[in-house]
């Protein structure tokens, strides 16, 4: 009886991680389906409306067509994020190849400078270290991480506000993305890295899915990096990545 008890106990111990990952998988599928359902319902109702007025011109139906297209764009973004998430889960090998770090960030900052100008925001880039230095690491993953943070900084700032990218290359590579936007309450600074988590304030601003930062966590975990979220003075957020 005792050995039976011990084996049941051991089995339940062994099963725990499997059950946990099953639960996480179930929650993920539920969340993803929920996110898919809303745009699909909108597209369906808009197309049904079009059917009700078969003689209307495209111009007369432009509202329905425009809204359907916007929802299709949302679905495409969601599909891209989901693909990125699962692809990263499967291929977590990290490439270690030498590349010049400065031109990578210089090009990225030129791209975001252009976005900032069109959105009437300020963008600043600062680099500390040797601009000729080679870095050995995964160029693509480092670029993805920076893009996720810069896109968020752009999303959660309004006109005339500022976004900053600072890169320091010393013993470690440190990437700091700063914004003067809506900020993140202290108690939420950990949960935002979970899948499908969006804070209430941001829901009104943009139509993300809450997947960007969980993709970032996966990439960083693979590379053995860390991310820290801080408050930016006088307002906004600061994300510091160390690899």
Residues that bind ligand ADP (CB under 6 A): 152-153, 155-156, 179, 181-184, 192, 197-199, 202, 208-214, 237
For 229, phi and psi rounded to 5 degrees? -110, 130
Nearer to ligand ADP, 63 or 221 (CB): 221
In the complex, least distance from residue 210 CB atom to ligand ADP, rounded to whole angstroms: 4
Nearer to ligand ADP, 137 or 164 (CB): 164
Cβ–Cβ under 8 Å, residues 237 and 183: yes
In the complex, least distance from residue 154 CB atom to ligand ADP, rounded to whole angstroms: 9
In the complex, least distance from residue 156 CB atom to ligand ADP, rounded to whole angstroms: 3
Q: Which residue is nearest to ligand ADP (CB)?
A: 208
In the complex, least distance from residue 234 CB atom to ligand ADP, rounded to whole angstroms: 15
In the complex, least distance from residue 184 CB atom to ligand ADP, rounded to whole angstroms: 5
Using H for helix, E for strand and C for coil, what is the string for the chain? Answer: CHHHHHHHHHHHHHHHHHHHHHHHHHHHHHHHHHHHHHHHHHHHHHHHHHHHCCCCCCCCCHHHHHHHHHHHHHHHHHHHHHHHHHHHHHCCCCCCEEEEHHHHHHHHHHHHHHHHHHCCCEEEEEEECCCCCEEEECHHHHHHHHHHHHHHHHHCCCCCCEEEEEEEECCCEEEEEEECCCCCCHHHCCHHHCCCCCCHHHHHHCCCCCCHHHHHHHHHHHHCCEEEEEECCCCCEEEEEEC
In the complex, least distance from residue 153 CB atom to ligand ADP, rounded to whole angstroms: 5
Nearer to ligand ADP, 61 or 77 (CB): 77
Nearer to ligand ADP, 64 or 176 (CB): 176
Nearer to ligand ADP, 83 or 131 (CB): 83
Nearer to ligand ADP, 137 or 208 (CB): 208
């Amino acid at each position: 009886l005792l050995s039976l008890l011990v084996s049941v106990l051991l089995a339940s111990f062994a099963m725990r991680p499997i059950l946990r990952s099953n639960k996480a998988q179930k929650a993920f599928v539920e969340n993803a389906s929920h996110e898919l359902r809303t745009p699909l319902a909108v597209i369906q109702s808009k197309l049904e409306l079009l059917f009700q007025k078969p003689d209307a011109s495209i111009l007369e139906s432009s509202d329905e067509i425009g809204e359907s297209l916007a929802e299709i764009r949302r679905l495409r973004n969601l599909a891209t994020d989901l693909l990125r998430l699962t692809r990263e889960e499967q291929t977590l090998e990290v490439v270690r190849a030498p590349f010049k770090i400065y031109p990578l960030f210089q090009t990225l900052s030129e791209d975001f400078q252009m976005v900032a100008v069109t959105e009437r925001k300020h963008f600043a880039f600062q680099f500390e270290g040797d601009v000729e230095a080679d870095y050995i690491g995964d160029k693509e993953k480092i670029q993805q991480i920076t893009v996720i943070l810069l896109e968020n900084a752009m999303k959660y700032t309004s006109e005339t506000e500022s976004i900053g990218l600072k890169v320091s290359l010393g013993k470690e590579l440190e990437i700091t993305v700063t914004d003067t936007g809506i900020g993140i309450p202290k108690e939420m600074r950990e949960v935002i890295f979970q899948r499908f988590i969006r804070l209430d304030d941001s829901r009104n601003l943009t139509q993300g899915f809450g997947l960007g930062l969980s993709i970032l966590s996966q990439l960083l975990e693979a590379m053995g990096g860390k991310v820290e979220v801080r408050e930016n003075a006088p307002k906004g957020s600061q994300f510091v990545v160390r690899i």
